[in-house]
């Protein structure tokens, strides 16, 4: 058995506009990026992680989760290690606001931890850092 | 001077592209162009699809003062959409980095004309001809409305492509919101709900427009010298301050009589932050002035409430949702 790590491990996706990458960078936690292009080596999760992803969509909820993230989660090994999800988006998308987070939470049965707009305000960064601290401590004491 | 007819009011002319090549959508330079094009096409709508006449009863419950305020707000929005359709989006075409970007701008321009026209659908459904004419006259005479139109138009016809994109993004992501506030307010009180449905479609379109123009701005800035980057950043914040001061006066002028000015200002700050982020700049307004009235926020996005996520809610109230009904076929589980 491995010792529980103190800081949360993050896995994230971000498109070429890079907002989510920028948010993750501000969190200052160990993080790995799901590759943008199918030609790149797929990412394989090795430790439990929290997923951070932006919401996209072609309307009516379809396409809200980026294809790259679907591909990543279709891998059972990756799927088994997800512990929570943080979604990015914009409230101006109305009903579609951060929908990717709801979809992943429901499909993987993990909590939607937080929602952030664009690349987040300093308050968002603080809220997520503190929230993850508590969440991860709880996780490593309750799980094997 | 009036700028309600922007194409004629400019005085200066916008350059057209010098050379045109056939646009080949089978050779893509930036996947964002395709992605945004597709999203815009999927989002396409027309005012005729929305049953605005169902709002007639509700309209009649508003006081004459409230009706007049609503009409004025909508003529203000009509002017901004007209500017963006007739000048703003078109002015971005000559500096497009990729050929497909040009097509996206023509798509945006057309949609702005749909937006502008959709307010007229609201008017013809709810108001009388003299009332409509009155509201349009007001829009031509209102100093702050004319000023914001003029500030933006000046940059659209100026010769700095990056400054044009900044002005355009601030229009898409900030200037509309003093107006968008009101239909969200009515909607939160179960009034003019069909009108609000239509405005939400407009807001969603503007969200994609602001994102895209902001993204292309950041691309354009990428290779610039530090000096140039600083110049553009200073310009952006100065323009935002100038527009903000004017927005506050515009807001007071419209909303003081109904006691909503402070509430609207929070909505302005909240959206100014997102406009800055669309341009890649850090948000400027602190938390204590961006705490938008929850009723307005949930009129904008029903999912925006606090208990919807684990960290913001009280914790115990959080429940993991059920799978969505609309799903992509790519999922293997
Ligand atoms: C085409 C398009 C569609 C989008 N759809 C949604 C949406 O349905 N819901 C939402 O909350 N945000 C939506 N967004 C906003 C993005 O999630 C947001 O801008 C995010 O910061 C992008 O992250 P990235 O730069 O890391 O890719 C959309 C953005 C684009 C460009
Ligand atoms: Fe518009
Ligand atoms: Fe727009």
pLDDT in tens, A38-73: 899 999 999 999 999 999 986 666 789 999 999 999
What does residue B292 show for φ and ψ, rounded to 5 degrees? -60, 140
Q: What H or E segment, with its residue span, contains residue A54?
A: strand A49-54
> Which chain A residues are closer than 8 Å to B97 by Cβ?
none
Q: Cα torsion for A69, A72, A73, A78, to the nearest 10°?
A: -140
B67 touches chain A (CB under 8 A): no
What pLDDT shows up at residue B299? 97
Strand partners, A86: A52, A114
Whether this model's ipTM surpasses 0.90 comes out as: yes
- Residue B79's nearest CA partner among B152, B160, B188 is B152
Percent of chain A with pLDDT over 70: 91
Residue indicated by tokens 């980095």: B97
Burial classification of residue B129, based on how many CB atoms lie within 10 Å of its CB (0-12 exposed, 13-18 middle, 19 or more buried): exposed
Residue A62: other Cβ atoms inside 10 A: 15
B222 touches chain A (CB under 8 A): no
Rg (CA), chain B: 20
- Each residue's pLDDT, cut to its tens digit, for chain B (333 residues) gives 344 444 454 556 667 777 788 888 888 889 999 999 999 999 999 999 999 999 999 999 999 999 999 999 999 999 999 999 999 999 999 999 999 999 999 999 999 999 999 999 999 999 999 999 999 999 999 999 999 999 999 988 888 999 999 999 999 999 999 999 999 999 999 999 999 999 999 999 999 999 999 999 999 999 999 999 999 999 999 999 999 999 999 999 999 999 999 999 999 999 999 999 999 999 999 999 999 999 999 999 988 887 788 998 766 678 887 766 556 778 888
What pLDDT shows up at residue B229? 98
- Mean pLDDT, chain A, integer: 91
What does residue A113 show for φ and ψ, rounded to 5 degrees? -80, -40
Minimum Cα–Cα distance from A109: chain B residue:
B320
Q: What angle do CA B107, B183, A103 make, to 5 degrees?
A: 65
Q: What angle do CA B115, B121, B124 make, to 5 degrees?
A: 150
The answer to whether residues B27 and B104 touch, using CB atoms and an 8 Å cutoff, is no
Atom of ligand 1 nearest to the CA of A17: 25
CA–centroid distance, B24 to ligand 3, in Å, is: 25
DSSP character at residue B288 = G
H, E, C per residue of chain A? CCCCCCCCCEEECCCCCCHHHHHHHHHCCCEEECCCCCCCCCCCCCCCEEEEEECCCCCCCCCCCCHHHHHHHHCHHHHHCEEEEEEEECHHHHHHCCHHHHHHHHHHCCCEEEEEECCCCHHHHHHHHHHHHHHHHHHHHHCC
d(CA B224, CA B226): 7
Q: What angle do CA B308, B309, B312 make, to 5 degrees?
A: 105
**Residue A109, pLDDT above cutoff 90:** yes
What pLDDT shows up at residue B88? 92
d(CA A49, CA A35): 16
The answer to whether residues B294 and B282 touch, using CB atoms and an 8 Å cutoff, is no
Question: Which residues of B are annotated as catalytic?
Answer: 119
DSSP character at residue B51 = -
Q: What H or E segment, with its residue span, contains residue A20?
A: helix A19-27
Burial classification of residue A140, based on how many CB atoms lie within 10 Å of its CB (0-12 exposed, 13-18 middle, 19 or more buried): middle
- Residue B204's nearest CA partner among B172, B226, B244, B178 is B172
* B135: its two tokens: 């509201």
What does residue B234 show for φ and ψ, rounded to 5 degrees? -60, -45
The answer to whether residues A48 and A9 touch, using CB atoms and an 8 Å cutoff, is yes
pTM: 0.94
What pLDDT shows up at residue A2? 47
Q: What H or E segment, with its residue span, contains residue A51?
A: strand A49-54
Question: Of the residues A10, A90, A112, A115, which should be mutated to test ligand 1's pocket, given the most ligand atoms within 8 Å of the CB?
Answer: A90
Ligand 1 site residues (CB inside 6 A) read: A 14-15, 17-21, 54-57, 64, 88-90, 93, 96-99, 118; B 35-36, 39, 208, 211
Substitution target in A91, A115, A117, A131 with the highest count of B β-carbons within 10 Å is A91
**Residue A5, pLDDT above cutoff 70:** no
The distance in angstroms from the start CA to the end CA of chain A is 8
* B297: its two tokens: 């926020």
A110: distance to nearest CA of chain B, Å? 7
pLDDT band at A1 (very low <50, low <70, confident <90, very high): very low
What pLDDT shows up at residue B218? 98
* B128: its two tokens: 């009388």
d(CA B192, CA B227): 50
d(CA B191, CA B188): 7
């Amino acid at each position: 058995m491995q010792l529980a790590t103190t800081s949360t491990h993050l896995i994230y996706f971000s498109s070429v506009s890079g907002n989510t990458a920028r948010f993750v960078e501000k969190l200052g936690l160990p993080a790995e990026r799901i590759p943008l292009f199918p030609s790149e080596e797929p990412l394989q999760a090795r430790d439990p992680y929290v997923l951070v992803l932006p919401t996209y969509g072609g309307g009516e909820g379809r396409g809200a989760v980026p294809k790259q993230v679907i591909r990543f989660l279709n891998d059972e090994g990756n799927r088994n290690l997800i512990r929570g999800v943080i979604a990015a988006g914009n409230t101006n998308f109305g009903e579609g606001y951060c929908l990717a987070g709801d979809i992943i939470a429901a499909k993987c049965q993990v909590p939607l931890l937080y929602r952030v707009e664009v690349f987040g305000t300093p308050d968002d960064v603080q809220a997520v850092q503190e929230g993850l601290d508590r969440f991860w401590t709880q996780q490593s004491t309750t799980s094997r | 001077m009036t700028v309600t007819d922007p194409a004629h009011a400019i005085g200066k002319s916008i350059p057209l592209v010098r050379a045109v090549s056939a646009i080949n959508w089978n050779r893509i330079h930036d996947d964002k162009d395709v992605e945004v094009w597709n999203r815009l096409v999927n989002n396409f709508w027309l005012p005729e699809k929305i049953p605005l006449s169902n709002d007639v009863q509700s309209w009649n419950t508003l006081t004459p003062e409230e009706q007049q305020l609503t009409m004025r707000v909508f003529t203000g929005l009509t002017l901004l959409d007209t500017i963006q359709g007739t000048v703003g989006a078109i002015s971005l075409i000559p500096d497009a980095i990729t050929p497909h970007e040009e097509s996206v701008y023509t798509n945006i321009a057309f949609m702005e004309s749909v937006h502008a026209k959709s307010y007229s659908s609201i008017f013809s459904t709810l108001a009388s001809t003299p009332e409509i004419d009155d509201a349009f006259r007001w829009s031509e005479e209102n100093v702050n409305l004319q000023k914001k139109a003029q500030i933006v138009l000046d940059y659209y016809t100026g010769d700095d492509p990056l400054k044009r994109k900044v002005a355009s993004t601030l229009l898409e992501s900030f200037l509309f919101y003093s107006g968008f506030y009101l239909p969200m307010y009515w909607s939160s009180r179960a009034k003019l709900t069909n009108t609000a449905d239509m405005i939400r479609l407009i807001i969603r379109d503007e969200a994609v427009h602001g994102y895209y123009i902001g993204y292309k701005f950041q691309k354009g800035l990428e290779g610039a010298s530090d000096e140039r980057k600083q110049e553009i950043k200073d310009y952006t914040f100065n323009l935002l301050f100038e527009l903000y001061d004017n927005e506050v006066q515009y807001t007071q002028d419209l909303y003081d009589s109904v006691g909503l000015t402070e509430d609207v200002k929070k909505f302005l700050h909240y959206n100014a932050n997102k406009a800055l982020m669309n341009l890649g700049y850090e948000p400027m307004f602190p938390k204590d002035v961006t705490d938008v009235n929850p009723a307005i926020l949930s009129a904008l996005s029903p999912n925006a409430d606090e208990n919807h996520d684990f960290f913001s809610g009280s914790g115990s109230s959080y429940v993991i949702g059920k799978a969505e009904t609309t799903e992509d076929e790519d999922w293997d589980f």
